[in-house]
Amino acid sequence: MKLTSSRSSHQRSCHQYKWPSRSQSGLPACPQTPSVGHVSRTNQHGGQQRLSDNFRCLSGFSTVRRPFPLSHGTTTLGFIFQGGVIAAADTRASAAGLVCCPAAHKINPIHSHLVVASSGSAADCMLWERILIREIRLYQLRHGRRLSIRGTAKLLSLMLHPFKVTDSASPNSGPKLVYVCSDGARLQGDIFSVGSGSPYAYGVLDGGLRWNLSKDEAFSLAREAVFRATHRDAYSGNNVDLFHITAQGWSQREREDLKEEYYRDMNYRKKMTCKL
């Protein structure tokens, strides 16, 4: 299929279309601020403030309310050990008391050495992950090299506003774990957990995480943390996805049903009770 475009026809269509007013579109009245094109660049502080106010006015972030609350939850985590980076997450997509999907993918590879574990609205996270993949690919085509992990985290902090994302990577400069918050903050550390089940996951990770963990021990710790979180958090559950990122790239373990972990835990408890 061949696609063609016409500049003149596009301009005519743009001139013929009449944009609706803010009252017709249901948006609140815009305060008197200069347009984006007329923001003075000589006054950096005032210009940036007016630009920010105008952006909020156009988008309606400060006044437009959501028609219904977005109630959701998840459990995602990542930590660094001697063998690289481990990323884990449950697979339950929920909306308030409804389990929308028991087999969602909350960890998505961006390229061979970078994966993203997202927490928040599923549709929004998927959208920005696709935009991030596109921007990283365009950067590589333009500059002949891949964008660094810190550069990727900075790009996310500039793009993301209502979302939270955790980046896990193991480039040539060593493994890195970066948490990008919805307010633009970027935190780099050795352990992060995000979502409604994160307090329970932290309880397991803080007690069992060591630098000299073996690969199997690291997988077991991540599985245990997600399992304990899903056992107490109603918004998390079903399965666990495990990723291992090294200098050679990322690899994914086969998805495991958390009910198997529950049965293993019950058998362990029975054995301990019999010994006592």
Per the listing, tokens 């948006």 go with: 27
Place of tokens 């996951």: 201
Whole-number Å distance between alpha carbons of 46 and 58: 18
The question of whether 75 is a catalytic residue gets the answer: no
Active-site hit among 33, 74, 76, 91: 74
- Which residue stretches of the chain are H helix? 7-16, 22-25, 44-59, 122-143, 149-159, 198-208, 215-232, 258-275
State how far Cα 208 lies from the chain centre. Answer: 25
The structure tokens listed for 176 are 């890195």
Sign of the Cα pseudo-torsion (158, 159, 165, 166, in order):
negative
Amino acid (1-letter code) at residue 96: A
Alpha carbon distance 81, 217 (integer Å): 10
CA dihedral 11→12→17→18, nearest 10 degrees, is 80
Task: Round to whole Å and give the CA distance between 221 and 116.
Answer: 20
Residue 62, class by beta-carbon neighbours within 10 Å (0-12 exposed, 13-18 middle, 19+ buried)?
Answer: exposed
The SS3 call for residue 90 is: strand
Q: Do 63 and 73 form a contact (C-beta atoms < 8 A)?
A: no
Distance separating alpha carbons of residues 244 and 24, to the nearest angstrom:
51
Closest by alpha carbon to 242, among 213, 265, 217, 264?
A: 217
Looking at the annotation, which residues are catalytic?
74
